[in-house]
Structure 1
Amino acid sequence: MSLHRVCGLFAFLSVVCLISFTPLCNGENILVFPVDGSHWINMEILLKELHARGHSITVIRTSTGWHISEKSPLYTSITFKMDEGLQDFLGAYLKEHMNVQRTGASAFTFFKLTKDFIAMVYRAHKVLCDAFVRLLDDEIMVKRLVDSEYDLVLTDPGMAPGLILAKYLKLPMVLNVRWITSGEGHFAIAPSPLSYIPVPGSGLTDKMNFIQRLKNMFFYSIIVLQQKFMIGPIYDAICDKYIQGGCDTFSLLQEADIWLFRSDFVFDFPRPTMPNVVYVGGFQCKPAQPLPADLEEFVQSAGEHGVIIMSLGTWIEALPQEVTNEIASVFAEMPQKVIWRHKGERPSTLGNNTLIVDWMPQKDLLGHPQTKVFVAHGGTNGVQEAIYHGVPVLGIPLFFDQYDNLLRLQERGAGKILQLSEINGHSFEQGLMEVLHQDSYRQNMQRLSRLHRDQPVAPMDQAIFWVEYVMRHKGAPHLRTEAYKMPWYSYYCVDVLLVLLTAATLLLLTALSVVRLLCCRSRKKIKAKQQ
C-alpha cells in the first residue's frame, strides 16, 4: 500500500474517532417566567438563540398577555388566568402621566407623578401576584411543573413571581435583568455608594455636588420605603405561605446564579459589580438587513439630506394631540424624509415628506446609511440599538427609566433631551436642528458604537454561554457572595464597630481613672508635706 493511501486511511480513521468520542450536545429543559411588554422583546430574542441550540423551552404567560403568544415555534406555553390585563390600566396611567407632565415642572407635579407611579406599580404587582397564588394552589399545574424536571429557571425580576417559582421548584436561576421590583438591579447585589451612583429617577450623573447627593439620598429613600412597605409585603406573604423557612425578594435576587445584565459601561456609569453579573447590553443588536422595497425607495428618495426616524416604543401609541401637531409641522418644513411610527389620530399638520407607519423595522433603519437622527422616548432597547449603529438621539423621555437612559447619552454628547412639558414647534425644531447639524453628536455616538462593538465575545454569545454554564454545573454558587446570608448589622460591621467603640471607651475610662487616682495621691502627698 502506498504512503499516500496509508496517510489517507489514517486521516479517515482519525475523523471517525473524533466524531465517535465528541460528546453529544443534548438540549436542556428551560422554564421561562418573563415580564410582558418591551421586556419580552429582548427575552424572546434570547429564547430564539437558546432554541437554535436545541434547548427545550417552556414559557409561563398570563391569560391577558399582549405580547407573549400562547403558540410559538420557539416554546411550549403554560397559561395561568389573570383577571385584569396589566396593559388595561397601564395605558390609562400613561395617558394621565403625559397630561400631568404637560403642566410643567413644580412640586405639585412631582408629588402627583410620584404618587400615581407608586400606586400603579403596587397595583401591577398585586394583580400579578393574586393570579400567581392561584397557579401555586393548582395541584395539577404544580405537579406538571415538578414532573417536567426543568434544568433551569430563566426569569426577568422586574416582577418577582419567577424568583419565587425557582425557589419553590429548587432550581438554578438565571436573571435577564436590568430592573428589579424596586429600581435598578445593581442595588440589590453590588455595593452602591450613593456618593457617585445615581438612583433611578433622580436625573443625576456620577458627578454630584452636596445638594445633588442629598437629592440622591432622598430618591433612594423613596425606593427603600416603596419596597419595604408596599411591594415587599405582597411577595413576603407568598414566600411565607409556599416557601419553607420563608424568604424575601432581595434574598431571592441574591441567590440567583447568574445575572445577564442588559447594560454595559459604554452606556452606563462605572460602578462596583459582582462576579456573577455578566454584561450583555445590546445583545439584541445585529447588522442591518435590507429594507422592504417600498421603504427602501422612500429612504433613497431623500437624497443627500437623509432620513429622520421617530418611534416611542411599544407602550406609547401617540403623544398628546397638540404635541403631535407641533412635531408634524416641524417635520413638514425639513428637507429630510421622515419615517414616524404613530398609531394615534393623524396629525393635521402632516407634510408630504413624512411617512406614518404602524410598525417599522427599527434596527434595519438605524443601520441604514441614510438615517441621520433617531427621535426616541429613551427605552433601553432603542438606546442600545442607536449606540450599536452610531445614530445620535433626540430624546423625549416619558416615564420609567427613559430620562436616565437619555441622560447617559446626553452626558456623553451623543444625544439631547427635550422634556414633554417644554415641547413646542420652536423648541422641537431647535433641538432637532442641533442634533442634525452639529457633527459632535454623530461623532460621539459613533465613538460609543466603536467602543461597544470592540469586545472579545459578542454579548449574545456571552449570554448563551452563561445560561448553558449554569445548566452544565447545576448552578454557580461559587460566584455568589455570602452577603445575603448576613444580617444587616454584620454586613455593615455595626457589631464590630460597637465592640471596638466599647473597648476604646473602656480603655479611655480606665486611663482617666488611673490619671485621676494618681492626681489624688499627688494632692494628698502635697497636703501631707504642707501640714
Structure 2
Amino acid sequence: MGSIPGLSLLLLVVSVSSVHGGKILVFPVDGSHWVNMNLLIQSLHARGHEVTVVRTATSWYIKENTAHYHSITVTLPEAISIEDQDFFVTFLVKMLAIQKQGGSLISFANFYWEIFTVLSKIHQQASLLGVEIFENKTLMQRIRDTDFDMVLLDPGLPVGVLVAHELKLPTVFNVRWITSGEGHFVVAPSPTSYVPTSGFAAPDKMTFVQRVKNLLHYLLNTCIDRFVVCPHYDRLVARYFGPDVSFYHLLQGADIWLMRVDFVFEFPRPTMPNIVYIGGFQCKPSEPLSSELEEFVQSSGEHGFILMALGTLVKGLPVEITSEIAAAFAQIPQKVIWRHVGERPNNLGNNTLLVKWMPQNDLLGHPKARAFVAHGGTNGVYESIYHGVPIIGMPLMFDQFENVLRLEARGAAKVVEVTKLTQQNFLEAIQEVLHNPSYRRNMKRLSELHRDKPMHPLDTAVYWIEFVMRHKGASHLRTESFKMRWYAYYSVDVLCFLLAVLLLLAAAVVASVRFLCFRLCRRRKPKQE
C-alpha cells in the first residue's frame, strides 16, 4: 500500500479520534497529582467534553468553580491528610530524622511503622468519601441522571473505582502510583529478578544481594497493601456490593491505564495491551520570562544559571541544611533562582534569588539554564528531560529516590543525600554536573529520544479516553488473569498435577519391575530344585 501524505494522515487521525462531546466523571488526587490531571481535563474540555470533578470541601488545589469543569463537593467528617499543606512538611521532618539514624534495623522498622501509620490513616479517610457518596441518595441519583459515559480517575486514592462499578461505567486510570506502589505491579507481570520494586532504589541490573532485597521489598509491599491499605476498601465493597465482589479485581479491571511513564526514563519491563504510556504529557515548549526574571538570567553572562525547586516540601528542610546549600551556591559564578518558601537560609550569596513561585518549565527551556537542583518529583524530572537540563538530585521521600537513581544510571544526574549534605559535597556535586560535559550530553540524548514520537503524549491520552467513550470500554485489551486464583495464575495446580502423574508413572514402573522380578524369581526356584 502506498504511503499516505502527511496532511491526509493528520485528517485521518483527527477524524478517527473525534467523538461527540461526552460526559466524564473525574476522581482526582490533590497536590502535585492534580497538576497533570487538570491539564488532561483542560484538553478534554477543549475537545468539547463535559467534565465533572469530585472534590472534597477541604481540597488544596482543586477549586470548586472553574471554566473547564463542573464540580461535586463532598464534605467529609475529617479532611484527608494529603489535602493539608502541612502534612508533607511534618512527614518530611519525621522521615529525615529516621534517615539520620542510618541503615540500622531500628531505623528500618521506624521507617516502615511510620509508612504503615500514614498510609492506613490516608486510605481510611479516603474511604469515607465513598461512604458519603453512597449514603447520599440525592447525590447518587444526580450522578446517575447525568448519564456519564466513563470515569477517569487517579487510583492513588481509588474510591472512584467503586463508584464506577456502581454506575457500570468504563474506567480509565491516569496513573503512576496505586495502593500497592507503582502501577505496573498490579496490572502487568513484574519479575523481581530485573524489575526494581516500589520503595527500593536499585538498577535493573541487580546483584544477587540486590535481588534478595528486591524480593523482600516486594513481599513487604504486598503485605502493606493487603493488610494495611486494602482492608479499608474491602469493607466498603462488602458493605455495598456483597461478598462476591473483590476490591482488588475492581482495581485491576480498568479498561485503560494511562501510565505516566516513558521508557526513555523508566527501566524496560513487561507490559500489557491496555497500558498506554504518556510520560511527560505535561511538557511543552518554554514561553518568554517576565522582564525581571529575564534581566536576572541575562546578568549571568556566559556562566548561565541554576534553578532549584523541591516542590511543596522545601519549607520542611531545616535551616541548617538550607544554609549549607546557600553557602555552596555563593561560591559559584552562575546565578541561582531558588524557589523557597521556608525560613530564609543563612549564608545567602548575591548571586542567589529567592522566589516563592517560579515558571519552572520556562526556566528549564531557557538557553542559559545549566542545571536543575530538584527533589526528583515526576513532573520536574520529565520537564528536565524534555528540555535537556541535567539534574542535581536531592530526593526526600516516596518515589523520588527511584526517579533520581534512574537518571543517575543514565548519566544524566548526580545524587546528593540530604541527611549527609554539607557545603563541600553539595558544591562538588554542582561543579561535577556543570563542568563534566557528559551529564548535559546524556540528558540531551534522553531529550531527543523523549521528543521523537509520532504523537504528543497528551494527544495520546486524549485519544484513548475518547476511544473508551466511543466503544463503551476496552475489554478486548484487558486480560482476565487477575480473576484467576494465585495457584492457577502461577500454574501451581498444573505443576502439582503433572508431578502427581509423574509420580504415578514412576510408581507404576517400579511396581511393574518389582512384579516382573518377583515372577522371574518364582520361575527360577522350581528349576533350581
TM-score category (smaller protein): over 0.9
Which residue does the alignment assign to 1:291? 289
Amino acid at match of 1:200: S
Amino acid at match of 1:157: P
Which residue does the alignment assign to 2:49? 55
Say if 2:252 is the partner of 1:254: yes
1:439 to 421, 437, 443: 437
How far did 1:38 drift?
0.7
SS of equivalent to 1:314: helix
- For residues 475 and 508 of structure 1, what CA distance do their matches in structure 2 show? 51
Say if 2:123 is the partner of 1:125: yes
Which residue does the alignment assign to 1:281? 279
Which residue does the alignment assign to 1:314? 312
CA distance 1:119–1:261, change in 2 (3 Å): same
How far did 1:245 drift?
5.3
SS of equivalent to 1:317: helix
- For residues 249 and 317 of structure 1, what CA distance do their matches in structure 2 show? 37
Does the 8 Å CA contact 1:395/1:418 hold for their aligned counterparts?
yes
CA distance 1:263–1:24, change in 2 (3 Å): closer
Per-residue displacement from partner, 1:182-237 (whole Å, max 9, x unpaired)?
Answer: 11101111111111101011111111122111101110011111111111111011
- For residues 152 and 243 of structure 2, what CA distance do their matches in structure 1 show? 23
Which residue does the alignment assign to 1:195? 193
SS of equivalent to 2:71: strand
Which residue does the alignment assign to 2:79? 84
1:243 to 223, 226, 241: 241
Higher Rg: 1
Does the 8 Å CA contact 2:180/2:186 hold for their aligned counterparts?
no
> Which has the larger displacement, 289-298 or 126-135?
126-135
Which residue does the alignment assign to 2:6? none
Which residue does the alignment assign to 1:230? 228
SS of equivalent to 2:315: coil
Equivalent residues in 2 for 1:212-227, closer than 5 Å: 212-227=210-225
Which residue does the alignment assign to 1:264? 262
How far did 1:429 drift?
0.7
Does the 8 Å CA contact 1:239/1:246 hold for their aligned counterparts?
no
- For residues 212 and 19 of structure 2, what CA distance do their matches in structure 1 show? 54
Which residue does the alignment assign to 1:34? 28
2:303 to 305, 329, 333: 305
Which residue does the alignment assign to 2:148? 150
CA distance 1:507–1:264, change in 2 (3 Å): same
2:515 to 511, 514, 517: 517
How far did 1:489 drift?
1.8
CA distance 1:62–1:513, change in 2 (3 Å): same
SS of equivalent to 2:312: coil
CA distance 1:137–1:224, change in 2 (3 Å): same
CA distance 1:202–1:22, change in 2 (3 Å): closer
How far did 1:436 drift?
1.1
Amino acid at match of 1:281: G
Which residue does the alignment assign to 1:6? none
Which residue does the alignment assign to 1:172? 170
Does the 8 Å CA contact 2:17/2:467 hold for their aligned counterparts?
no
Amino acid at match of 2:255: D
Which residue does the alignment assign to 2:452? 454
Which residue does the alignment assign to 1:387? 385
1:43 to 23, 37, 45: 37
Per-residue displacement from partner, 1:317-347 (whole Å, max 9, x unpaired)?
Answer: 3411110000001111110000000100111
- For residues 464 and 426 of structure 2, what CA distance do their matches in structure 1 show? 44
Amino acid at match of 1:149: D
How far did 1:22 drift?
12
- For residues 397 and 189 of structure 1, what CA distance do their matches in structure 2 show? 27
Which residue does the alignment assign to 2:485? 487
Amino acid at match of 1:94: L
SS of equivalent to 2:341: coil
Which residue does the alignment assign to 2:525? 527
- TM-score between both structures, scaled by the size of structure 2: 0.94
CA distance 1:159–1:390, change in 2 (3 Å): same
Does the 8 Å CA contact 2:374/2:391 hold for their aligned counterparts?
yes
Amino acid at match of 2:124: K
How far did 1:100 drift?
2.5
SS of equivalent to 2:55: strand
- For residues 459 and 514 of structure 1, what CA distance do their matches in structure 2 show? 67
- For residues 70 and 502 of structure 1, what CA distance do their matches in structure 2 show? 63
Per-residue displacement from partner, 1:17-57 (whole Å, max 9, x unpaired)?
Answer: xxxx9999531111000011111011011111111111111
Per-residue displacement from partner, 1:42-93 (whole Å, max 9, x unpaired)?
Answer: 1011111111111111000111111111111111111111212422544322
- For residues 224 and 279 of structure 2, what CA distance do their matches in structure 1 show? 27
CA distance 1:294–1:336, change in 2 (3 Å): same
SS of equivalent to 2:516: helix
Amino acid at match of 2:58: T
- For residues 423 and 255 of structure 1, what CA distance do their matches in structure 2 show? 44
Does the 8 Å CA contact 1:99/1:320 hold for their aligned counterparts?
no
Q: How many pairs align?
A: 511
Equivalent residues in 2 for 1:339-358, closer than 5 Å: 339-358=337-356
- For residues 353 and 30 of structure 2, what CA distance do their matches in structure 1 show? 29
Unaligned runs of 5+ in 2: 1-14
Which residue does the alignment assign to 1:16? none
Which residue does the alignment assign to 1:110? 108
- For residues 180 and 287 of structure 2, what CA distance do their matches in structure 1 show? 37
Which residue does the alignment assign to 1:411? 409
Say if 2:205 is the partner of 1:207: yes
Which residue does the alignment assign to 2:11? none
Say if 2:365 is the partner of 1:375: no
Does the 8 Å CA contact 2:338/2:352 hold for their aligned counterparts?
yes
Does the 8 Å CA contact 2:130/2:163 hold for their aligned counterparts?
no
Does the 8 Å CA contact 1:366/1:385 hold for their aligned counterparts?
yes
SS of equivalent to 2:67: coil
Does the 8 Å CA contact 1:328/1:350 hold for their aligned counterparts?
yes
CA distance 1:418–1:22, change in 2 (3 Å): closer
> Which has the larger displacement, 490-499 or 323-332?
490-499
CA distance 1:435–1:189, change in 2 (3 Å): same
SS of equivalent to 1:310: strand
Unaligned runs of 5+ in 1: 1-20
- TM-score between both structures, scaled by the size of structure 1: 0.94
Amino acid at match of 1:127: Q
- For residues 121 and 247 of structure 1, what CA distance do their matches in structure 2 show? 23
